[in-house]
Amino acid sequence: MSSEDVLQDASTLASYNVLLQVMFRVLTFLLNAFTLRFVSKELIGVVNVRLTLLYSTLVFLSREAFRRACLSRGSGTGHSWRQVVNLLWLTLPLGVAWASLLVCVWLWLLEVPDPRTIPHYGPAVGMFALAAVQELLAEPLWVLAQAHMFVRLKVVAESLAMIAKCSITVVLVVSAPEWGLYIFSAAQLVYTGFLVFCYVVYFLRFLGSEEATKKCFPLNHVGELLFCRADGEPLIDWTLARLTWSFFKQSFLKQVLTEGERYVMTFLNVLSFGDQGVYDIVNNLGSMVARFIFLPIEESFYIFFAKVLERGRDVKSQKQEDVSIVAEVLECLLKLVLVIGLIITVFGYAYSHLALDIYGGSLLSSGAGPTLLRYYSSYVLLLAVNGVTECFVFAAMSQEEVDKYNVVMLGLSLSFLFLSYMLTWWAGAVGFILANCLNMGLRILHSLFYISRYFQSSPWRPLRGLLPSPALLLALGLSAVVTALSEGAFCCDRGWLLRLVHIAVGAACLLCVLVTVLLTETQLVRFVRTQLLPRYRKKHT
């Protein structure tokens, strides 16, 4: 497959992933707004911080390293896909081991919530761990689908799973609110069950079909999806296993960085369960765009970079045509996430209070919520840039470089935990965001130095994507001033009519910024139209 074909497939995957994440976040957004009317913020804190942390930790540590290693260029070619599938099945016993350890920690080492206000905590811990292990059953199928760009499979599976989860939650919250944590535990089990069911059904129908033959799919029957030895080759690819181990050490540290504030809240008890609930709601609102735009782009274009570049080889040793495409894509991606991040930062300051008031009423807008969301809007800019830079770096690094970076990640993890504790003690929940900003800035600097060195001996300079046009900077600066003045004059305790005026002012400023982007960032606009908009791309490829 040529680099252009890989780019087209990765772009298609990114486009549909963005649409999928938009739907997920809208459903989650509406679900949280609905449940806030029926359950306490303490219950929300336990579910969205304590139990979700258990689930995400178990899943991430069990599969992330396998995903990154098995989707790298060179894995899964020819008959080696059997070895890849065998390696991926190791995620299941690893997940069971992590589940046993983490359930003990969550039940016996952490503070147990008051059963009078938050009942059924113990069974909920077990059910969330079971849901995580259940999701690992689909891991070999997920990697096969991602590697062969089965875009519609992921969209359909995750859409059905999310719809089922939301439906179960709404029905039980309304009909049986006294069930407490059982509601959210059952919904999580339904979600992962639907995911596994959809992937299994698809591959049962796909393997051996004419479509599989036409696509030259490397596996022919269901038995090859199971853990088995192929004649004349080792059970697993040990080179790939060693790379997985390198990524595993890194994934443990990356998880601490990604979920660091939740670990601090959970293990150090710096915030009450109610304050944790408010922080998590603000965090979900602030990261909504990051999750449904930046994360799908990062996941999809990691596959592109990993498939086009030979891992561990310098730029002169790569095919120059491939390097040219990679450099252009990286530059455009950096410009795209930078522009989106700047827009969120500028408009997030003036509209945080209004957004929280509409979403959760005085429960969210009367306290520290607006300040948290304003700080988080600035953090999103760093989050956006870091996602793309690390996406490239992790795809290009050799195994030795990955091992060296693990030491850097260890230092960042320890400093982040220390900063989180100290800054939270000093500034409350805002301290988490400040610690994240400092940590993310250091990670960005490391990635920028790596990218600069990587392309130093080539004519390409993809880091120019981090330089927006002066006209765009001017438009953003004026918008920041105008919307801040509008908030002071029209928002947020002066009636809905003046609120609508404030919204109209923001809409007008946003329109001016978008027009400026269209007129000054022509390369970016062309990239978005031809690579990230599926309907347009089909007409021009």
For the stretch 308-360, pLDDT in tens is: 887 777 778 778 888 888 888 899 999 999 999 999 999 988 888 888 887 77
Q: Is the pLDDT of residue 535 over 50?
A: no
Most confident of 12-16, 172-176, 357-361, 417-421: 172-176
Give, in degrees to the nearest 5, the angle at Cα 69 between 66 and 74.
140
Kindly state the average pLDDT of the residues 399-410: 80
Q: Is the pLDDT of residue 363 over 70?
A: no
Contact 192, 134 (CB under 8 A): yes
Inter-axis angle of helices 3-35 and 151-175, nearest 10: 0
- Give me the pLDDT at residue 167, please: 87
Q: Is the pLDDT of residue 136 over 80?
A: yes
The DSSP annotation for 517-536 comes to HHHH-HHHHHHIIIII-HHH
Q: Which residues make Cβ contacts (< 8 Å) with residue 33, sequence separation at least 6? A: 359, 360
Please tell me the distance from the alpha carbon of residue 503 to that of residue 358, in angstroms, as a whole number: 12
Phi, psi of 74 (to 5 degrees): 105, -20
Report which of residues 513 and 411 the model is more confident about: 513
Q: Is the pLDDT of residue 529 over 50?
A: yes
- Give me the pLDDT at residue 121, please: 93
The length of the chain is: 541
Which amino acid does the sequence have at 321? E
Kindly state the average pLDDT of the residues 138-159: 84
Provide the whole-model pTM.
Answer: 0.69
Confidence of residue 24 (pLDDT cuts 50, 70, 90): low
Least Cα distance to 243 among 403, 80, 98, 85 occurs for 403
Report which of residues 421 and 201 the model is more confident about: 201
- Give me the pLDDT at residue 10, please: 61
- Give me the pLDDT at residue 79, please: 45
- Give me the pLDDT at residue 538, please: 45
- Give me the pLDDT at residue 417, please: 81
- Give me the pLDDT at residue 536, please: 41
Please tell me the distance from the alpha carbon of residue 152 to that of residue 291, in angstroms, as a whole number: 20
- Give me the pLDDT at residue 23, please: 66
Least Cα distance to 267 among 411, 101, 48, 109 occurs for 109
- Give me the pLDDT at residue 11, please: 62
- 10-24, 383-397, 485-499: least confident range: 10-24
Tokens for 107? Answer: 């039940």
Contact 75, 292 (CB under 8 A): no
- Residue 460 CA: distances (Å) to CA of 294, 315, 453: 24, 10, 11
- Give me the pLDDT at residue 346, please: 93
Give, in degrees to the nearest 5, the angle at Cα 356 between 352 and 362.
130
Express each pLDDT in 216-274 by its tens digit: 787 878 888 888 776 667 777 788 888 888 888 777 777 777 777 788 888 877 777 87
Please tell me the distance from the alpha carbon of residue 63 to that of residue 477, in angstroms, as a whole number: 43
Give, in degrees to the nearest 5, the angle at Cα 168 between 132 and 297.
55
Confidence of residue 77 (pLDDT cuts 50, 70, 90): very low
Q: Which residues make Cβ contacts (< 8 Å) with residue 119, sequence separation at least 6? A: 180, 181
- Give me the pLDDT at residue 342, please: 93
Burial 431-466 (b: 16+ CB within 10 A, else e): bbbbbbbbbbebbbebbbebbeebbeebebebbebb
Tokens for 7? Answer: 């780019």
Contact 524, 531 (CB under 8 A): no
Please tell me the distance from the alpha carbon of residue 384 to that of residue 519, in angstroms, as a whole number: 23
Kindly state the average pLDDT of the residues 466-475: 92
Express each pLDDT in 380-398 by its tens digit: 889 889 988 988 888 888 8
Kindly state the average pLDDT of the residues 425-432: 81
Least Cα distance to 233 among 340, 82, 338, 36 occurs for 82
Confidence of residue 20 (pLDDT cuts 50, 70, 90): low
Please tell me the distance from the alpha carbon of residue 74 to that of residue 240, in angstroms, as a whole number: 9
Report which of residues 237 and 494 the model is more confident about: 237
Q: Is the pLDDT of residue 126 over 90?
A: yes
C-alpha distance across the termini of the chain, in Å: 16
Task: Identify the DSSP state of 231.
Answer: T
The DSSP annotation for 472-515 comes to HHHHHHHHHHHHHHHHHHH-SSS-HHHHHHHHHHHHHHHHHHHH
- Give me the pLDDT at residue 200, please: 92
Report which of residues 112 and 78 the model is more confident about: 112
Express each pLDDT in 41-69 by its tens digit: 788 889 988 999 999 999 999 998 888 88
| Helix, coil or strand: residue 384 | helix
- Give me the pLDDT at residue 44, please: 83
Q: Which residues make Cβ contacts (< 8 Å) with residue 416, sequence separation at least 6? A: 256, 257, 260, 435, 436, 438, 439
Please tell me the distance from the alpha carbon of residue 130 to that of residue 123, in angstroms, as a whole number: 11
- Give me the pLDDT at residue 12, please: 62
Report which of residues 346 and 419 the model is more confident about: 346
Contact 89, 260 (CB under 8 A): no
Kindly state the average pLDDT of the residues 519-527: 89
**Chain-centroid distance, C-alpha 56:** 11
Confidence of residue 276 (pLDDT cuts 50, 70, 90): confident
Express each pLDDT in 91-118 by its tens digit: 999 999 999 999 999 999 988 888 888 8
Q: Which residues make Cβ contacts (< 8 Å) with residue 430, sequence separation at least 6? A: 368, 371, 372, 375, 423
Report which of residues 431 and 129 the model is more confident about: 129
Task: Work out the percent of the chain whose per-residue pLDDT is above 90.
Answer: 24
Least Cα distance to 57 among 267, 309, 334, 202 occurs for 267
**Chain-centroid distance, C-alpha 58:** 16
Q: If you average pLDDT over every residue of the chain, what do you get?
A: 83
Q: Is the pLDDT of residue 476 over 90?
A: yes
Supply the Cα-derived Rg of the chain in whole angstroms.
Answer: 24
Tokens for 24? Answer: 């997920």
Phi, psi of 332 (to 5 degrees): -70, -40
Kindly state the average pLDDT of the residues 200-226: 83
Most confident of 39-48, 480-489, 490-499: 480-489
Q: How many CA atoms lie within 13 A of 52 on its CB side?
A: 17
Report which of residues 31 and 165 the model is more confident about: 165
Task: Work out the percent of the chain whose per-residue pLDDT is above 70.
Answer: 89
Within the chain, what is the greatest distance between any pair of CA atoms? Answer: 77
Express each pLDDT in 440-452 by its tens digit: 899 999 999 989 9
Report which of residues 34 and 524 the model is more confident about: 524
